[in-house]
């Protein structure tokens, strides 16, 4: 497409509409490449699909740079670009002054909230439907795929879908049409549909490094990282059986978030020397230990207590044992009943650890 065909705002065309690629599995497969162990699409292919010049397309991405984290989009290195060119016979790939940008599937979905105009909406819908058909093909042929690979593909599908649904809050009034595209992602295979075959919890040979978070299988360490990562002010861990791993799982809390572990430290699983080592290795993490008052049997995680963002999670096992056995973490919907219990915890004295 020539620059002269573009008029008006980025992504909007007047007069003759440029020729658009017909999106189907074959056309899409020809434009998906494997880089850094993940499948990506390149900026010039996406620009052609959406009716942009490559420079105008990248200008739109640059103007919305805050939406494209490193796991959404990244620039190829010279070596990566040369490897791709050596595998592709298309002469038009040469002559670029800048190395191409690569977009992961999450990045492609994010583009749907950035690029505007009727053509962009139609192409976004076509991409979503094509991605869905490709994923359906994976599910239908699950017997032909190894369990480990199937788990990886299924979890990635779920993460991508969830990432896109979270973009709703970022859509402006001008982008209402794109909301319809995101709605259609509800048709994509979800983990709840795969739960019967995703993980064989009844097989002792299966490694137990997954847990069920709100009913969905999630990598155990990633589940805790995701929960703690939501905190903006405080994290309360209520658990009578703690160990060094209880602390290590808190290492990814955001800067400025205060971590308080409430425990009676039954079994003396955590020692002062381990706490000292943790504080030495992660001095930026403000962690305090207090007694639990001997009234708690279950384990809980409380995020941002007393704020509008407060969340409470009920944990089936101690975090120090995460990944060892099948366990469940579920968000508590009725938080009010826990308020006096947590208020009582805040009055408990500091926990003294043995060395």
CB 83 within 8 A of CB 24: no
Would the pLDDT of 250 be above 70?
yes
Model pLDDT, residue 292? 93
Sole residue written with tokens 């137990």: 208
Model pLDDT, residue 197? 36
HSE, CB side, 13 Å, CA atoms: give it for residue 218.
Answer: 19
Would the pLDDT of 154 be above 50?
yes
Cβ count near 157 (within 10 Å):
21
Alpha carbons 254 and 93: distance in angstroms, whole number: 42
- 246: burial class by Cβ within 10 Å (0-12, 13-18, 19+)? buried
Percent pLDDT > 90 in the chain is: 24
Q: Which residue, among 214, 226, 218, has the nearest Cα to 250 in the 3D structure?
A: 226
pLDDT digits (tens, 9 = 90+) for 67-101: 888 888 999 999 998 888 887 755 556 566 789 99
Model pLDDT, residue 347? 93
Residue 251: pLDDT band with limits 50, 70, 90: confident
Q: The dihedral of CA 309, 301, 331, 195: what is its sign?
A: positive
- Can you list the alpha helix ranges (DSSP code H) found in 285-355? 339-346
Which of 25-39, 189-203, 242-256 reaches the highest mean pLDDT? 242-256
CB 197 within 8 A of CB 142: yes
- What is the bridge-based pairing of β-strands 299-303 and 311-315? antiparallel
Helix axes 176-183, 118-140, angle to 10 degrees: 10
Q: What is the reported pTM?
A: 0.47
Which of 135-139, 167-171, 226-230, 280-284 reaches the highest mean pLDDT? 226-230
Give me the sheet containing 33-35, strands edge to edge.
33-35, 38-42, 101-103, 73-75
Tokens representing residue 6 in the block = 């573009």
pLDDT digits (tens, 9 = 90+) for 253-290: 998 999 999 999 888 788 888 888 888 888 889 999 99
128 or 203, greater pLDDT: 128
Alpha carbons 195 and 197: distance in angstroms, whole number: 6
Model pLDDT, residue 101? 94
């Amino acid at each position: 497409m020539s620059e002269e065909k573009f008029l008006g705002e980025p992504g909007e065309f007047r007069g003759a509409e440029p020729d658009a690629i017909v999106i189907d599995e074959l056309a899409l497969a020809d434009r998906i490449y494997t880089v850094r162990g993940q499948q990506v699409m390149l900026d010039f292919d996406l620009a052609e699909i959406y009716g942009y010049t490559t420079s105008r397309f990248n200008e739109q991405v640059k103007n919305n740079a805050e939406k494209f984290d490193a796991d959404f989009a990244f620039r190829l290195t010279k070596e990566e670009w040369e490897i791709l060119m050596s595998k592709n016979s298309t002469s038009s790939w040469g002559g670029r002054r800048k190395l191409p940008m690569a977009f992961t599937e999450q990045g492609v979905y994010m583009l749907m909230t950035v690029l505007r105009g009727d053509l962009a909406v139609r192409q976004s819908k076509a991409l979503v439907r094509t991605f869905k058909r490709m994923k359906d093909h994976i599910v239908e042929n699950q017997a032909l795929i190894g369990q480990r690979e199937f788990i990886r593909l299924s979890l990635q599908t779920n993460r991508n879908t969830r990432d896109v649904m979270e973009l709703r809050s970022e859509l402006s009034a001008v982008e209402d049409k794109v909301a319809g595209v995101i709605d259609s992602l509800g048709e994509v295979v979800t983990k709840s549909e795969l739960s019967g075959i995703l993980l064989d919890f009844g097989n002792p040979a299966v490694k137990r490094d997954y847990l069920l978070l709100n009913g969905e299988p999630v990598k155990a360490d990633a589940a805790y990282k995701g929960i703690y990562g939501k905190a903006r002010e405080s994290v309360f861990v209520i658990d009578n059986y703690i160990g060094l791993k209880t602390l290590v799982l808190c290492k990814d809390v955001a800067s400025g978030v205060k971590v308080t572990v409430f425990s009676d430290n039954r079994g003396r699983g955590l020692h002062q020397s381990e706490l000292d080592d943790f504080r030495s290795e992660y001095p930026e993490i403000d962690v305090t230990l207090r007694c639990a008052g001997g009234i708690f049997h279950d384990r809980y995680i409380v995020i941002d207590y007393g704020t509008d963002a407060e969340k409470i999670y009920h944990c089936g096992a101690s975090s120090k044992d995460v990944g060892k056995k099948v366990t469940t973490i579920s968000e508590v919907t009725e938080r009010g009943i826990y308020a006096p219990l947590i208020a009582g915890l805040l009055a408990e004295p500091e926990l003294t650890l043995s060395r």
